[in-house]
Amino acid sequence: MQRKAVALAVALASAIAIFNMPAEAESWPSKPIRFILPNPPGGTNNILARML
């Protein structure tokens, strides 16, 4: 019985901690990020950087 009570208390405390976190969007970065790639356009690095 004691083990069940401790498990229930831990589960309740973790659920409260998870649902109590603020859900706000961060304002960083406020400007677009610019990548400078040393390779020509159309290459593999360019395609991967655009997907990123």
Q: What is the pTM of this model?
A: 0.37
Chain segment 35-52, per-residue pLDDT in tens? 888 888 888 888 888 887
Please tell me the distance from the alpha carbon of residue 41 to that of residue 32, in angstroms, as a whole number. Answer: 19
pLDDT class for 27, splitting at 50, 70, 90?
confident
Q: Are 49 and 35 in contact (CB under 8 A)?
A: yes
Query: DSSP 3-state assignment of 38?
Result: coil
As a 3-state breakdown, the chain gives helix, strand, coil percent values, each rounded to 5, of: 50, 0, 50
Q: Are 37 and 46 in contact (CB under 8 A)?
A: yes
Q: How high is the pLDDT of residue 1?
A: 67
Sign of the C-alpha dihedral, residues 4, 10, 14, 16?
Answer: positive
